[in-house]
Chains A and B, each alone.
Chain A
Amino acid sequence: SAVISQKPSRDICQRGTSLTIQCQVDSQVTMMFWYRQQPGQSLTLIATANQGSEATYESGFVIDKFPISRPNLTFSTLTVSNMSPEDSSIYLCSSPSSALGQGGQYFGPGTRLTVL
């Protein structure tokens, strides 16, 4: 199974600032995914991070608000820009694994963000 780590595990930030979340996978993967999980809700896909190309964003999410980097096959970052209290959420990264089935993913531990 893939081991995925995220930094930071949690943070409390002021309105208007930005936070960059790091995701490290212990093996090379073509795609990595970023999700948001708002309090009491399920996971919503923000974007797919492909190495060597622009990230693909889902409806309702834009690059200016959530810029993503994917410098190599084991690492990605998600930045939450110009934060507001509505951005308070858990942000999770994941990587696909065919061992789980077509479309299966392993998840990182998540980053719990609180915006004041």
Chain B
Amino acid sequence: GQNIDQPTEMTATEGAIVQINCTYQTSGFNGLFWYQQHAGEAPTFLSYNVLDGLEEKGRFSSFLSRSKGYSYLLLKELQMKDSASYLCAGAFSGGYNKLIFGAGTRLAVHP
């Protein structure tokens, strides 16, 4: 199967920068998604990477290396509201693109 691995928990300080890493198995890989999920709410789309390199979107950036099976989500100028779970999900081929989710990284932002 396609294992998606990411750290379970991270903590950071308001105003700082945090990087959340994600690794995946490259077989059948088609693209990498990051979702944000606040407690009790649905996941919301943050970013999509299909080619190698960095995609920047405001305070959030996402990086992908297809050859290494590696991605990271970079959050800058952290705010308290960024405290949430961040889900890494890979799209893999198999008739249609199925999303396989990692376990999620719970980020706690402290003052």
- The answer to whether A102 and B87 have CB atoms under 8 Å apart is no
Does residue B98 face the partner (Cβ distance < 8 Å to A)?
A: yes
- Chain A, residues 64-104, CB within 8 Å of chain B (1/0): the string is 00000000000000000000000000001000100011111
Contact of A101 among B33, B41, B44, B87 (CB under 8 A): B33
- Chain B, residues 24-51, CB within 8 Å of chain A (1/0): the string is 0000001101000000111111001010
- B contacts with A: majority SS: strand
Does residue A106 face the partner (Cβ distance < 8 Å to B)?
A: yes
- The answer to whether B42 and A105 have CB atoms under 8 Å apart is no
Does residue B91 face the partner (Cβ distance < 8 Å to A)?
A: yes
The answer to whether residues A102 and B98 also contact, given A42-B103, A107-B43, A109-B41 and a CB cut-off of 8 A, is no
- The answer to whether B43 and A48 have CB atoms under 8 Å apart is no
Task: Collect the chain B residues with CB atoms within 8 Å of residue A45's CB.
Answer: 98-100
Give the size range of B's interface with the partner.
20 to 34
Give the size range of A's interface with the partner.
20 to 34
**A103 vs B29: C-alpha distance when bound (angstroms):** 11
25 contacts between A and B (CB under 8 A): A41-B103, A42-B87, A42-B102, A42-B103, A42-B104, A45-B98, A45-B100, A48-B96, A92-B43, A96-B97, A100-B33, A100-B45, A100-B48, A101-B31, A101-B33, A101-B50, A102-B31, A102-B91, A103-B33, A103-B99, A105-B99, A106-B45, A110-B41, A110-B42, A112-B40
Q: CB within 8 Å of A: which residues of B?
A: 30-31, 33, 40-45, 48, 50, 87, 91, 96-104
